[in-house]
Amino acid sequence: MNETLEVIKNRRSIRKYKFEQITDSELQTILDAAFLAPIGEPKGHFTIIQNKDLLDRMVDSIKENFVSSGSEIMIKKVKDPLYHTFYNAPTVILISADETAPLMEIQCGLAAQNIMLAAESLNIGSCLILSSGILFKTGKSNEFKRELGIPDGYNFVCTIALGYKYGDDPVTPPRDKNIINYIK
């Protein structure tokens, strides 16, 4: 199997990270891969967060927002003392997109996939996190947008947790191949 397919096959959502920060060189390699996604002129914005205090404040606000949401499933989840939206990853990339640009979620998704595959190729774990979007659904959203340097007119798309893997990779879940329909 070629190297690219091997990286795709091996990538898993990692939810346990070492506390050690990834290197600036590794981070730059991962970001370079994001800009190689087939997205044309990028209208996305990437915020790199490596400040533990800021990440912890974001998680606290996310927890508050989920409790206020009334979602019983999420309330139960965030009340677990071990809950951390970003799984204690030392680096989080927040991707936001120009709200006026067409198909930006798809373009940002392609960049996110490149980020996760580049990370895997460097033996760095990653996890795509969509639930963190609730951070921008309440009154504090503008404060966080300013603090995170998200441009005006840009909206949250996703976050990606990054860090050195702690423990073994998760087992590959079974895939349903009945979702494919061939017409020849």
**Cβ distance 47 to 150 under 8 Å?**
yes
- Residue 37: name the closest of 113, 95, 144 by CA: 113
8 Å CB contact between 13 and 128: yes
How far is 160 from 108, CA to CA, in rounded Å? 12
Region of 148 please: left (phi>0), alpha (psi -120 to 50) or beta: alpha
| Per-residue pLDDT tens digits for 166-177 | 988 777 777 787
CA dist., res. 25 & res. 23, Å (int): 5
Per-residue pLDDT of the chain (184 residues; tens, 9 = 90+): 799 999 999 999 999 999 999 999 999 999 999 999 887 666 789 999 999 999 999 999 999 999 988 889 988 999 999 999 999 999 999 999 998 988 888 999 999 999 999 999 999 999 999 999 999 987 777 889 999 999 999 999 999 999 999 988 777 777 787 888 889 9
As a whole-number percent, the residues of the chain with pLDDT over 90 amount to: 71
Phi, psi of 157 (to 5 degrees): -115, -55
Nearest to residue 74, comparing CAs of 130, 15, 17? 130
Backbone angles phi and psi of 91, in degrees to 5: -130, 135
3-168: what CATH class? alpha beta
How far apart CA 28 and CA 133 sit, in angstroms, is 25
pLDDT at 41: 65
Give 71-91 pLDDT, tens digit per residue: 899 889 999 999 999 999 999
Mind giving me the DSSP string for 103-166?
Answer: THHHHHHHHHHHHHHHHHHTTEEEEEE-GGGGGGSSTTHHHHHHHTTPPTTEEEEEEEEEEEB-
Q: What are the residue ranges spanned by the domains of the chain? A: 3-168
